[in-house]
Structure 1
Amino acid sequence: MTELLKPVVRAKILLVEDDEDDYIITRSHLDELTSLDSQLTWVTNSTDGLQKLTEGYFDVCLLDYQLGAETGLSLLQQAVAAGISTPIIMLTGQPDKQLDLQALEYGAADFLVKSELTEARFARAIRYALSRREFELERLNRMQLEADNRSKDRFLAHLSHELRTPLSSILGYTELLLESDTAEEARPELNIILNNGKHLLSLLNDILDLSKITANKLELRPEPTSLRHILLDIYTLLKVTAVDNGLTLTVNSLTSLPVLITVDSTRLRQVLINLIYNAIKFTDSGGITVDLWVQKADGKEMLYFRVTDTGVGIPAGQLKDIFAPFMQVEDYLTRKKGGAGLGLAISAELIQRMGGSIDVVSEERKGSVFTFCVDPGDISDTQRCYFNPEQRLNDGHNRQDKITLSGEVLIVDDLADLRKLAGYWVKAAGASVDFAENGSQAIEKVKRKLDSGSSYSLILMDLHMPDIDGREATSMIRSLGYQYPIVALTAAMAKDIRQQLAGLGFNDVLSKPITKHHLYRTLRSYLTGPTVLQSDVQPAEKKLHFLVVEDDAEAAQLMQILLESLGVTATLAQSAEECMQLLALHHHFDRILLDMGLPDCNGLQLVERIEHSYPENVVIIVSGHDYEPAVSSSAIVQQSIVKPLSKQTLNQIVSTCR
């Protein structure tokens, strides 16, 4: 006899059957299936059958249709209603098509006639039921895993909010004390508090990044980027840390480097800072050297980085594990230095997603060498030069400007500490401040202002508050007719949150913990008032510089001529990519005149790209028709103008910049 079940399958089977002769026949059929190692449990009524199905774990249930005065259909219905996933095979004494269809409709896995039951038919039914059981278990496990992931995401979002909120106070008030003269004697201790607070924030960011990587939700946003800007930022940031630890930090370009590369600049910075900071942390004497070069790999030019230190090194047996999450070098030096063991794992994942790879060579007590590469995009026609870290950028961003702004800001937050901190910074910028403890109070204060014929110039609105939260409060404030900017404050920066909040009436989002730099950037964007440069000698008025993004060459040249006649330098870009390349080089223009009909990118998408990478710029929409309503939610769009442009229109734009 051909074996019908291969290999041997073990199964717990429940038989609900009130006839002992049929039980013996069924038992005999099961015994003949030598490839089935079955453990049979027999009950004689539907009540016991349902109890067994509820209490025990069975792979298959064989259910007789006629159970005394009852039918097996009632048990089948009760089992399905109770969520029991065990596949049920209905057994009956006579063939009945109507009953067959009814049983299958109620959820039976199969329908077998006892008088027609053969070994082959029985084997197929059992095999199908077991397969169905396995499929159902996989489905339930998948659903449970998805539910667990959703719970984890909710937990991490809650954890992020709960940790970032106190960190806002810790970092903010520590910076305030360091800037004041009241705690001069405690300055070393305050610096320790500030550095450790920043370290806690970096660990929190690492945990959130790792959760995104695990859930495959980490997205990169490659844009044309100035490599020199990245290197100078990192060199300036970490050189101080190296010197404070008695170390040297050297950056060399072994070949000429592309001026522009196409990468996610935020993530490349993250990788470099992590590797260089680790090198500083685990080096007691000597220094850290960062070498860069361009080299072809598999016919493609790749950008290489090598971070060399003279530190403690890594044991050979642990090199293979250092890029695994939560792994640390287990020696007293590492334990003394601390860390969650996430940075290298995240860096390795980011490098892989940037089209590259990472490798390490190390020797104990002599140091380590981390080498990685990333895909810089098409750099075949890109201008190249050697990097000099001592050559400073001269783009106007390194000036220490003291801003003096006008207007009144309403700060809405249920935490008094954070209201007070944000209020202090707003007052220091020259604006006046009012406070609301919750959404209800904010709505009432805005209503009173509007009724009196005045208004707040800006509202900083926390999203997570008791009573009425920030989202609902903003919707209600907008319904009152409030038309000035509202900026959301949140510790949970979820994907697409800007688009979601824009639909509710928000103009921008600030992530907690709020830094003075980010808050001042927001105040500059939304509050009117002069920016006063504090210096002994007032410089001559800076010549305005506009970026004109227009694919029509004649229209672009006309705008350039008109702007230059108004004393404005105009740089032209004919596509979205050229626009992003120029922004990567200059970072800031006084205004960007942006045509909506570009050949390589929708105008709305380009606005989003500019806002994400260079939010300090102000965009003027240039369109062939009336204002694009979808752009109104973008914080960087100042106004929209309709073609053709006149000199008078351009003069009005220029006058707002001076």
Structure 2
Amino acid sequence: MLDKVTKLLLVEDDEDDYILTCDYLQQLDSHTFNVEWISSPEQAIEKLSKNEHDICLLDYRLGASNGLSVLKKAIANGFSGPIIMLTGQSNDELDSAALDAGAVDYLIKTEMSSSRFARAIRYALARKDVEGERVERLKAEAENRSKDRFLAHLSHELRTPLSSILGYTELLLQSDFSHQAENELGVIYRNGKHLLSLLNDVLDLSKIAADKLELTLSEVNLDSMLADVYTLMRVSVLDKGLTLRFESQEPLPLVAKLDATRVRQILINLINNAVKFTDKGEIVVKAWTQWVDDTEMLFFSIKDSGMGIAPEKQELIFKPFEQIADVESRSVGGAGLGLAICAELLNRMHGRIDLHSEIGKGSTFTISVYPGDISEVERQTLNFTSAPQLQSKSAPCKVQGRVLVVDDLRDLRMLVGHMISTCGARVDYAEHGQQALEKVRIAEAYKAPYDIIFIDIHMPIMGGKEATIELRKMGYKGPIIALTAATMKGIHEELAALGFNDVIPKPVDSSALYQCLQDYLIAPECAPQAKNIASDKVLTVKKQRFLLVEDDHDAAQITQLLLESLGVETVIASSCAQCLQILNHDQQFNKVLLDMHLPDGRGVDLGQQINDRYPELRLVIVSGAEPDPKQIKDLNIDRVLLKPINLSLLETLISS
């Protein structure tokens, strides 16, 4: 490989010194130099200002001028390379002056035949390379920040109209008009959800590229997780007239250490793809363990009887934005991100994804993940598709009472809350233990205590264990149920000693949840009527009022309609100025909902002004992108809602 040629500018008005310097440079084995000789200060400044040279040797004496003025002007005009000052005699004062002006070194011409000259050249060029790498790194970081800002803006711009699409559709589906166009509304709602999932895929991929995607490992019940996936995917498979089978031909560990959310995401993505490209036949999901080198890995395969994938496309589909189907025909939708995300996630789980496919015969995707040390874990053959299990999941019990669900993961909160509400109980939510304590205090003060509390063990601010200890100190006597992925030996005894009544393992199995509700809550026919009436009176004491600050007219209107359908009086402001004008005359609002991007300012700045003027008002950020935690850290923010806004999100907001 040829050495890189170093472009050197020699500014020297003595021809003999020029010849000697070139001779010394040729003796340096470490670099090959392309020397350009300039003798006048004016030419030197002109050349250096173009910043085309890797290094400059600059004589201190240039006729009537001195090199210091050339040095200062060159640096001021943008020369970024190293400059070494040359002089005929040693002078500490000149040495200091040259270094202060920006030179990287100072050499006496008599030293040019020594090793010091070679060392000075090498060090100067090495520093230039290091500085160049630093500048490139800073540029890359700036580009990443710019990309993050763009994605945040894109997220906001897409989520705002999606709020209107999904919100209005949700309202219409619940209205008297739904029976006239239920199928059409369903199509709109499903496609809106599909757009939202594509947006989430893009954001996931950007997090992976920026190395910002974190895995959350926990002890996962495999049977429960796979049963959840089966139940979720069974409907879409049946809708297309296909058959879905889950198989395990060997005993599997009952528990594995995984990121359950991400493994579920991968399995659902692969099964969805199988459904897309299969018109008849079946989809079979198999699970097994296998030793790879010295590690026992957990494997899943997803086999379909679909169209198959051409050999030349089998490598492409794992790259972002590549699709299996012909883009022009658009026979299958999607952004081509799912498989790329699966491959990246599996790589972070010390696993991989493989594909075997034949045109017309179908495809088999095989994935592997590291399940932690499962050598001592109990194993059994799992039966994911048993009819009794599915029947118990789809037939919830009927109970009555007030339930508090506490979990920092919104999706899990809403899932558990939805399952409980289908049984007839009234559900309230909290994001962490501290918020749960406050809700319990308020409920007790209004004589409407919670009949049961479901609480996650590991949460920020305050975990479930600490919260339960405090709840028992406060005098709460109702049942407290732990939601935990930790199922190791002795966990039940430990939690019971802290004040828990029962444990439901994660992922939450609906049959276990329903059984728990039956054990601790009373059925409607057994409930005294007076208690129900009194409870209703307490819960409808005061109608809530919200101030919504949103400049997008459609988004503001649908949010107002959704809130008012839940009994919340809603006032709309479309700008910072209008918001402050309203608050100047009326501060009787339970919450102020702030959009992050307003025509006359930022929601963060408006929030600061509201905090300063009306500190008693509770603020909620409503944003199309995750706000920077640093921006809202000092604000009195109640919570952050990510668009699109829907009824379930607003229900949790009202109850908090």
State the TM-score, normalized to the length of structure 2: 0.70
Tell me what 2:101 maps to: 106
**Letter paired with 1:488:** I
Change (3 A) 1:8 1:505: closer
In structure 1, the residue matched to 2:21 is 26
1:79 alignment partner in structure 2: 74
Please state if 1:115 is matched with 2:252.
no
Q: CA deviation at 1:346?
A: 0.8
Q: Deviation digits for residues 379-405 of structure 1, max 9, x if unmatched?
A: 645797643462444577434469797
Residues 479-533 of structure 1: per-residue CA shift (max 9 Å, x gap): 44554643221111157x3x8636411121211112323222333x32xxxxxxx
Maintained 8 Å contact 1:440/1:473:
no
Does structure 1 residue 343 correspond to structure 2 residue 480? no
After superposition, the C-alpha distances for 1:390-437 in whole angstroms (9 at most, x for unaligned) are 244457743446979742233221212112111222222233322222
CA offsets 1:594-619 (integer angstroms, 9 cap, x no match): xxxxxxxxxxxxxxxxxxxxxxxxxx
Deviations 1:434-492 (A, max 9, x none): 22223343344445444xxxx32333322222334332333333444554643221111
Is the contact between residue 8 and residue 34 of structure 1 (CA under 8 Å) also seen in structure 2?
no
Q: Distance in 2 between matches of 1:397 and 1:176?
A: 18
Matched, 1:519 2:514: no
Please list, as runs of the form range in 1=range in 2, the aligned pairs for 1:240-251 lying within 5 A after superposition.
240-251=235-246
- Cα distance 1:356–1:167, how it changes in 2: closer, same or farther (>3 A)? same
Corresponding residue to 1:436 among 526, 549, 573 = 573
C-alpha separation in 2, matches of 1:319 and 1:392: 41
Amino acid at match of 1:512: K
Shift of 1:34: 7.3
- What 5-or-longer segments of structure 2 have no aligned partner? 397-415, 427-538
The CA distance in 2 between the partners of 1:235 and 1:334, in whole Å, is: 31
Amino acid at match of 1:265: A
Could you tell me which residue of structure 2 aligns to residue 320 of structure 1? 315
The answer (yes or no) to whether the contact 1:413–1:465 under 8 Å persists in 2 is: yes
**Distance in 1 between the 2:366 and 2:583 partners?**
56
- Say yes or no: does 1:208 pair with 2:203: yes
Are the equivalent residues in 2 in contact too, given 1:242–1:249 (CA < 8 A)?
Answer: yes
Tell me how far apart the structure 1 counterparts of residues 222 and 391 of structure 2 sit (CA, whole Å): 14
The residue that corresponds to 2:638 in the other structure is 507
Match of 1:489 in 2: 622
Give the superposition deviation at 1:281.
0.9
TM superposition shift of 1:67: 1.2
| Range moving further from structure 2, 148-157 or 330-339 | 330-339
Amino acid at match of 1:462: D
Can you give the 5+ residue segments of structure 1 that lack an aligned partner in the other structure?
A: 1-5, 527-658
Counterpart code for 1:514: I
Q: Which residue of 2 aligns with 1:551?
A: none
Pair 1:139 & 2:134 matched: yes
Determine the C-alpha separation between the residues in 2 that align with 1:227 and 1:447: 57
Asked if the contact 1:257–1:386 (Cα under 8 Å) also holds between the matched residues in 2, the reply is no
Q: How far does residue 344 in structure 1 lie from its aligned partner after superposition?
A: 0.9
Q: Distance in 2 between matches of 1:191 and 1:60?
A: 68
**More deviation in 382-391 or 133-142?**
382-391
How many angstroms does 1:228 deviate by? 5.4
CA deviation string 1:126-171 (max 9, x = no partner): 3333323322322222221111111111111111111211222222
Q: Distance in 2 between matches of 1:121 and 1:492?
A: 57
Name the structure 2 match of 1:624.
none
Query: Which of 469, 487, 496 pairs up with 2:602?
Result: 469
Match of 2:390 in 1: 390
Which of 532, 550, 554 aligns to 1:417? It is: 554
Change (3 A) 1:230 1:8: closer
Distance 2:641 2:224 in 1: 24
State the identity as a percent. Answer: 46
Q: Is the 8 A contact 1:85 1:136 kept in 2?
A: no
Contact 1:172 1:515 in 2 (8 A): yes
Residues 386 and 440 (structure 1), Cα distance of their counterparts in 2 relative to 1, 3 Å cut: farther
Aligned partner letter, 1:473: L
What SS does structure 2 have at the residue aligned with 1:322? helix
Cα RMSD, aligned residues only = 3.2
Tell me the amino acid that sits aligned with residue 501 of structure 1. Answer: I
Q: Quick check: 1:9–1:35 contact (8 Å CA) kept in 2?
A: no
Describe how 1:249-288 pairs up with structure 2 within 5 A.
249-255=244-250, 261-288=256-283
Does residue 153 of structure 1 match 2:148? yes
Contact 2:255 2:377 in 1 (8 A): no
Q: Are residues 1:304 and 2:299 paired? A: yes
Secondary structure of the residue aligned to 1:361 is strand
Q: Is the 8 A contact 2:356 2:365 kept in 1?
A: yes
Query: 1:304: how far off?
Result: 3.2
Task: Give me the whole-angstrom Cα distance separating, in 2, the residues matched to 1:122 and 1:521.
Answer: 73
3-state SS of 1:329 partner: coil
CA contact (8 A) 2:621 2:637 kept: yes
Match of 1:357 among 340, 352, 360: 352
Q: 2:5 aligns to what?
A: 10
Counterparts of 2:34 and 2:190, CA distance in 1: 64
Preserved contact between residue 604 and residue 631 of structure 2 (Cα < 8 Å): no
Is the alpha carbon distance of 1:307 and 1:238 closer, same or farther for their aligned partners in structure 2, counting shifts above 3 Å?
same
Tell me the distance in 1 between the aligned counterparts of 2:78 and 2:144: 22
1:50 corresponds to 2:45: yes
Is 1:13–1:41's contact at 8 Å kept on the other side of the alignment?
A: yes
The one-letter code of the counterpart of 2:635 is L
CA contact (8 A) 2:254 2:377 kept: no
For these two proteins, the number of residue pairs brought into alignment is 514
Q: Separation in 2 of the partners of 1:87 and 1:239?
A: 67
Where does residue 426 of structure 1 map in the other structure?
A: 563
**Residue identity in the other structure for 2:593:** L
SS of match in other structure, 1:40: strand
Q: Matched residues in 1 for 2:248 and 2:591: separation?
A: 46
Higher RCO, Cα 8 Å, sep 6+: 2
Question: Deviations along 1:304-339, whole A, 9 cap, x unmatched?
Answer: 322111111222343334323233336579852133
Give the Cα separation in 1 of the matches to 2:263 and 2:135: 40
Cα deviation code 1:609-637 (max 9, x no counterpart): xxxxxxxxxxxxxxxxxxxxxxxxxxxxx
Tell me, yes or no, if the aligned pair for 1:295 and 1:302 is still in contact at 8 Å: yes
Comparing 506-515 with 285-294, which one deviates more in the overlay? Answer: 285-294
Distance 1:268 1:485 in 2: 37
Matches of 2:297 and 2:89 in 1, distance apart? 75
Q: Deviations over 1:228-282 (max 9, x none)?
A: 5544543343333222322222334445666655433332232122111111111
Corresponding residue for residue 626 of structure 1: none
Give the whole-Å Cα distance in 2 for the aligned partners of 1:103 and 1:151: 38
Q: Flag the 1:147–1:289 CA change in 2: closer, same or farther, 3 A.
A: same
With 230-239 and 302-311 compared, the bigger mean Cα shift is at 230-239
Partner residue in 1 for 2:535: none
- Give the alignment partner of residue 90 of structure 2, picking from 95, 116, 128: 95
- Distance in structure 2 (CA, Å) of the matches to 1:463 and 1:136: 38
Q: Is 1:125 matched with 2:256? A: no
